[in-house]
Each structure stands twice: as C-alpha cells, then as structure tokens.
Chains A and B, each alone.
Chain A
Amino acid sequence: MQFMLLFSRQGKLRLQKWYVPLSDKERKKISRDLVQTILARKPKMCSFLEWRDLKIVYKRYASLYFCCAVEDQDNELITLEIIHRYVELLDKYFGSVCELDIIFNFEKAYFILDEFLLGGEAQETSKKNVLKAIEQADLLQEEAEGRV
C-alpha cells in the first residue's frame, strides 16, 4: 500500500498515512486532487480508480471516505476489506464510531492503524490481537494518568 487517506464529505482531511517517501508538496497535491476526484464520483460507481499511475480503492462510511492507494498487482477487493476491517476495529474501540471520534481522537485512530497496517502491509489480521495490543498500551496510559 502506498498511502491511506481519510477525509470527510466536505473534503477535509481527517487522517493521512503515507507509506512511500514523498515530499510535503507532492503529498498535498495528491491528496487535494484525489479528494476532488473521489468526491465527484457518484455513489453507485465503482470503488476502484485508475488515477494517474496509481490504483485507488475507496469506500464511504457515513460522512467519511476511506481511500487507499495500492500497487498495481495488489488485489482491489482485499484492499476494500482492509478498509472495512479498519472500520470494524475503530468501531469496536470507540463503540459505534463516528466522524467526531476520529476528529477528536485522531491520534488513537493512528495507533489503531499502526497496529493493523505496518509499513503498508497488513500486520495483524486477527481483530482480537489488534485490540489487545491497543488495550495494553491504553491500560498503561490510564495507570500513568491515574498516578498523576
């Protein structure tokens, strides 16, 4: 996977994770253009895009768009399921997740993503294991916060 973007229906970026080294300028240009392209597409249209030289897989959940750029030989459908699994993880963690959870706790969303995808590859596909890892770290956090 080359990158993952989360953005709202209004085109506001909510989360971005880049797995390929790109300059800030390129990142900004790609996300701006891509967000525009995807927002212009109708709901019944195909979830896959050949956009420039990238292969894009995107899906909309409520007001949020999840969008991944993958390599040419990658399987589009499984990428769609990666997005879905991520949403499931968020949902489980936040308990019925909504855009606001991700806006206000975006660092948590990043932590979850890092436990699930690492360096652009699916790291752990067992939902239980991902959440266990996050909870352990969170537990530590609560303890520390409790101490303070």
Chain B
Amino acid sequence: MIVNFFILSPRGDTVIAKTYRAKAGSSLLAHERSHTEAFFRKVKFWDGVAPGTPGMDTTLGLTGGLSGAAGLQGSGGKWGEEKLEKKGDAPPVFVMPDGYSYMHIKRNGLIFGCATEKNVSPVVVIELLSKIAKVFKDYCGTLSEESIRKNFILLYELLDELLDYGYPQVTQTENLKAFVYNEPIVVSKVADTGKMINPKTANASAVHKPVISSVDADGRKTSLSANQKNEIFVDILERLNVVFSNNGYVLNSTIDGCIQMKSYLAGNPQLRLALNEDLVIGKNNGSSSAYSTITFVDDINFNDCVNLSEWENGRTLSFHPPDGEFVVLNYRMTGEFKAPFRIFPSIEEVEPNKLEISVHIRAEIPDNHFGANVSIEIPLPGITTAASCSVVSTPGAAGVHAEYVTKEKKIVWNLKKFPGCTEQTMRAKVSLGGPCTSQIRREIGPINMNFEIPMYNVSSLQVRYLKIAENLPGYTPYRWVRYVTQSSSYVCRL
C-alpha cells in the first residue's frame, strides 16, 4: 500500500513523518525530506499540470493543450493576473517526478499526505488519511500543529498501530486504546478567531476533549473518571445545497444529512436509535409526498458498527458507540423541500453608471426558530468605485450590519440572528467607474448565503428515540440531541 505517511504544517514543515516501507537507496531521512518538500511546493503552487496527472491532456478535449498555462499568459484581463501564479487547489492525487503517486487531504490547515509506488486504491488511501486525522483529533482533543508537536510520541505510537507495512490496521479510536501507553498533553484551545461559536449550534466536533485521560500543560494528570460525565452528544446535521434563479425559483436543491455522535458513555453500552417508521429509501418520483407524511431519502449509508437487523422492519439501528466522534449514518435527499430562506434580488440601473441593488430575504421557518450567524455576500463588478448599504430590519433581528468591502469588491451583509417568519431587506447604491454594460451586469453575483439554524431540520427525518438497549438501573447518561441545519452552498443567481 503506502510507503510513508507525513503531516506538513501550513508552512510546509514536516511535523510528523513515518516510513512504512524501506525505499532502497533513498532511506535516509534527509532524502525523504527533500521529496516532501518538492511535494509541498507542488501543492502550494499548483500549476494545473502534474506529470502523469492527465487532468489537462485527457479532459480538455477539443481545446487541446494550448489553453493551458501558455495560453493564459496573454489573456491578461481582470482576473488573469491574480491567477497566473497558482491555479486553484491541487487535486488530492497526482504523480511526482520521483515516480511516486502522492495523495493528501487538508485538515485544519495541515496536510496529511502519503506516497505510494503501486497502483493502490486512492479511495482507500484518502479514507485512511481522514481516519488518521480523526484518530489524532480524538486523542489530542484538538487538531493543530501545536497539539501534534506536543504529542508526537503518542502519535508515533498510534501510527505504529494504525498502519503496518502501509496497510491499514486498527483505525477505530476505541480499539486503539488497548495499544497506547502515552498520555495526551492537552493544548489550551486557541481562541477561535473571529467566528463566534454559538453554544447551541456548535456541533459535537466542538467538544475538545481527548478520548483518554490526559495531562494538562503543567504535567498534572487529569483523571478520566473525575472529569468525565456520563454523556453522549447526538447531532442531526443537515447541510443544504440550493440554487435559486433570480426570480426566487429553486433550480437545484439537495440535503446532505448525517447523524453524528460523540460518546463519553461509561461502559460502552449498546444503544438503539430509531428513526421515522415510514422512512422510504429511493428516489421520490411521485408527487405523493406533498400530501402524505412519508419521508423519502434518496440514499443512506451506515457506519461499520451498526447492526441493521431491525432496519428493514422497524427503521431501528443498534450499535455499541465507538469512542470519539463518529458518523452513525449519512443520507441524501434531492426531493422538493421547503428552503428555509428565500432570496429575491433586484438590480436597477438608475443612471448609466449607478446601480441600485436590493436583496430581500424571507425566512420560511417557524417563528420560534431563527437563523444564526447569517452572512450574505454579493460580489460587485470590478469597476465599482463605491457602494453604500442600508438595511431594513424587522424587530427580533440582531447584529445586523451591511457594508461594502472595497478590497474584495463585494457587499457583506451579516445578521447574528434572523428570526423565523420575518423578512429582511438590504439596499445598496452602487457607483461604477464606467457605464454598466451587459458584461458588467454579469459580474454581479451570485449571491452566496451562509447560515445555521439551531434545533431545526429541513427534512422530516426524525430520531424517534435513542436509548440504552439493556435496562441498567441507576444508569442515567446525559443526552444532548441537537438538530442543526447549515448552508453548504446556498446561492442565488442574478
């Protein structure tokens, strides 16, 4: 399988590196290092062409090789200059000139990567890298360069068990416990820059607690039992992808949902989780759903640990929750659903080089719910010279602010709280450096909206109950069940 594994810091320093297979002749660490350096440069300054990666040669089809790097140089243009140096993100899989295929994922700014000389399954490798990142997070509490550096011996110990000869071995957090003798050193959580975490919407991954007992920065051992509550976090998380046309019509919409848990239950008892009994799996082709309460899900998949024997009949799952964060199931829906926010934009040309843009957003969620950390971005044309914004808010909306960000040529409109069943409007007067042509018009938009809605889910998927299978007297765990709806890509075209 894979030859080595490494973690690179955002600056390209090797934070962790382990070789699983001797590469004859180049086994010295220094050599390895020059390889990872070359790899990092490639990722950082991705030029769209990797030797062996056929992205350009097989996919461009009719346009041939010319529209690659060479063709761009001359195109100039507004965006051309910025893009010359780096052409987007590097794909996760490519061949380097040393003949090895490198695969990587990015997590919290860190690069988790590895190399192989064989024709391995890249899905296995990328899944494996994600698992490693997850295990590291479970054991360190947080995933950061600092926490990894501080816990390197523990992590090497884990790596020994995670992989042998490059093959994945034990990758489940709780199964690894038996083999690990070092204790994690907890890194005090760096204050989250900028983004306020709403305690009600922060999902389970915001719990920064290592899964095994740890020592704090002063070397004092924090005992697991004293500190640990008997608790389980359950999130029903739905991420929405919606595209609106400029008249508010929904062009495309999907829900990516998952049920995610983080268990700190003592004794690891078996749990039973029941969903809507009438849940139907398969595409909803008829219009029946509009009149019935049946919940349709296009597809669903389950964690390895889930026992499905009661799934077909009772829509009930049973499992022993593994330690740490894990996804019980993922589901996907493309059927019609009620978009929580509808966006109605309008653009008016008041003078040849003056525009008036107004964006009207209606929250179609019940009034006891609200959108949190709502942020709406409206890109403006490159020739914009100035823009002034004004907002019309209804009572209940909090932290409303809209401004034009000159540097990025866009209007950013934030609402800390967007109450349900209300409408919010933002108007902007935009001055342009020249007349507004149709091309200039096209540069406006698309409007991109980010939000989360605590304790609300768009689909009608419900957890009927979550309970401990056996009746254990006196065993009263804390259950934190949360529904959260988030935007993934929530866009209105103009």
A and B found bound together: no
